[in-house]
Chain A
Amino acid sequence: MSAALDMLLAQAMVEADLARFLVLSGLLLAVGLAGFLTRRNLIVMFLCTELMFQAAVIAFVACGRWYWDFSGQVFVIFVLTIAAAEAALALALVVLLYRRRGTLDAETWTELHE
């Protein structure tokens, strides 16, 4: 009885171990999304996407640790790659846009949405 209870408790502890990382990752993702939707500065919007990348990184590594499968961490390397490429290209575009209008406001570039 006691041994079974111990096993159940241990199982619950281990599950809580994964769950708390995943919940934290989800919360970070939501904060990043809120920032992306509400901020108007182009650079800060891209920073918020980086925040969402961080949330994904936590989820990948936590699940990889759970299954002792290191493709989670390998994928983090690819996330870093994409983040670096995105930062380079997006910031180059932001610099271009800034030179045209002299502002970083995303609202000044809304004539395409009609």
Chain B
Amino acid sequence: MRWVGAVVGLIGTAWLLMLAGQLPGETGAGALARQAAFIVFAVLSLAGAVQMISQKRPVYAALFFVLVVLSTCGLLLLLEAWFMAFAVVIVYAGAILITYMFVLMLAHQASDADNVGEIPAYDRRSRDPVAGVVVAALLAATITTVTLLGVSELQPAATQHEQLQASAELLEQLPKRLDHALAESDFIAGGDVTLTVRDDTVVAHSGGHEMDIADDDLPGSTSHVGWDLVARFPASLEVAGVVLLMAMFGAVVLARRQIELGEDELRASAGLAPLAPDEIEDPDA
């Protein structure tokens, strides 16, 4: 029965993700739908997290973590982080969780070979539950209090004008994209094109001519992320690559099972007949 619940939950979450990607504008029905979607995803992720840490079977814990990841991605979609949402699904739910599943199956199968179905004691009894929950509750209370008290002292959120300004600045650095945006009309780009923001639209100026740039031609959040990644943090990107490479080497070296094979086993694995005693050469001969 639990399997059915997990599968239905995953399918429902996937459907909600698709819905969240299509929510209409910022006001009216769109804003209401956003509120509703936030509540649904928040409840799903919290319930999944609580289920995850309280499941006796590690495999179920991993499945509930998939639910948490999917609902987190719904929240990222609500925050207009399209690329990150799907990157998290692919990397977390797709790759990392599969690794966990492999190791779980590896360990589970061997430990329960004689008594299948019995959950080991270390998955049934927790360690210092009261202390752990008290510490976690303190952390939750602290974070919640600080957030609710402090958020009104933050700098104000970026306005629409500032957002468009950032998009225009990025578009100026992407000549091909700018050409594409300008080529859709008969705007003749003579010489340098400068972009300014006027009344919630980006306007291109060149040699006395002006043209509004459509919202669809402005770089979206994915372009911004890509630009920031390579233009602002190139060294970090390289270091991340090195870290991944080293982790791969480390995992291979650590997990490799070292078996010392004798000469006969080596010959057998190569398809050769075992060494006959009279074939052994006497080194002194």
The docked-state distance in angstroms from the alpha carbon of A81 to that of B166 is 27
Question: Using a CB-CB cutoff of 8 Å, which residues 75-130 of chain B contact chain A?
Answer: 75-76, 79-81, 83-84, 87-88, 91-92, 95-96, 99-100, 103-104, 106-107, 110-111, 120-123, 125-129
Residue from B107, B132, B151 within 8 A of A38 (CB atoms): B132
Q: Is the CB of A87 within 8 A of B228?
A: no
Q: Is the CB of B88 within 8 A of A76?
A: yes
Residue from A41, A54, A95 within 8 A of B68 (CB atoms): A54
Q: Is the CB of A29 within 8 A of B53?
A: no
Closest to A19 in B: B151
Q: Is the CB of B136 within 8 A of A67?
A: no
Q: Is the CB of A66 within 8 A of B53?
A: no
Q: Is the CB of A39 within 8 A of B127?
A: yes
Instruction: Write out the residue numbers on chain A whose beta carbons fall within 8 Å of the beta carbon of B155.
Output: 67
Given contacts A67-B158, A80-B87, A84-B91, A26 and B151 within 8 Å (CB-CB): no
Given contacts A35-B53, A38-B128, A38-B129, A65 and B122 within 8 Å (CB-CB): no
Question: Using a CB-CB cutoff of 8 Å, which residues 220-264 of chain B contact chain A?
Answer: 221, 224-225, 227-229, 232-233, 236, 240, 243-244, 246-248, 250-251, 254-255, 257
Closest to B233 in A: A74
Interface residue SS majority, chain B: helix
How many CB-defined contacts (below 8 Å) exist between A and B? 254
Q: Is the CB of B140 within 8 A of A27?
A: yes
Q: Is the CB of A73 within 8 A of B221?
A: yes
Instruction: Write out the residue numbers on chain B whose beta carbons fall within 8 Å of the beta carbon of A33.
Output: 132, 135-136, 139
Instruction: Write out the residue numbers on chain B whose beta carbons fall within 8 Å of the beta carbon of A24.
Output: 42, 45-46, 75
Q: Is the CB of A70 within 8 A of B96?
A: no
* B258 nearest CB across to chain A (Å): 11
Residue from B69, B79, B96, B121 within 8 A of A62 (CB atoms): B79
Q: Is the CB of A80 within 8 A of B88?
A: yes
Residue from B88, B137, B250 within 8 A of A88 (CB atoms): B250
CB of B163 closer than 8 Å to a CB of A: yes
Most buried by A among B87, B162, B255: B255
Instruction: Write out the residue numbers on chain B whose beta carbons fall within 8 Å of the beta carbon of A104.
Output: 58, 107, 111, 120, 122
CB of A37 closer than 8 Å to a CB of B: yes
Given contacts A23-B148, A33-B136, A73 and B158 within 8 Å (CB-CB): no
The docked-state distance in angstroms from the alpha carbon of A62 to that of B79 is 7
Q: Is the CB of B72 within 8 A of A57?
A: yes
Residue from B42, B106, B128, B240 within 8 A of A81 (CB atoms): B240
The docked-state distance in angstroms from the alpha carbon of A66 to that of B152 is 13
CB of A92 closer than 8 Å to a CB of B: yes
Given contacts A41-B123, A81-B240, A68 and B250 within 8 Å (CB-CB): no
Q: Told that A34-B132, A67-B157 touch, could you supply 5 new A-B pairs with CB distance under 8 A?
A: A70-B227, A88-B251, A98-B106, A103-B111, A107-B122
Q: List chain A positions with a Cβ less than 8 A from chain B.
A: 11, 14-15, 18-35, 37-41, 43-44, 46-48, 50-51, 54, 57-58, 61-62, 64-71, 73-74, 76-78, 80-89, 91-96, 98-99, 102-107
| Top 8 A-B pairs, shortest CB-CB distance | A26-B143, A35-B53, A37-B132, A85-B247, A34-B136, A30-B140, A68-B158, A105-B122
Q: List chain B positions with a Cβ less than 8 A from chain A.
A: 38, 42, 45-46, 49-50, 52-53, 58, 61-62, 65, 68-69, 72, 75-76, 79-81, 83-84, 87-88, 91-92, 95-96, 99-100, 103-104, 106-107, 110-111, 120-123, 125-129, 131-133, 135-137, 139-140, 143-144, 147-148, 151-152, 154-158, 162-163, 166, 221, 224-225, 227-229, 232-233, 236, 240, 243-244, 246-248, 250-251, 254-255, 257
Mind listing 5 A-B residue pairs with CB under 8 Å? A39-B127, A44-B123, A67-B157, A77-B87, A80-B92
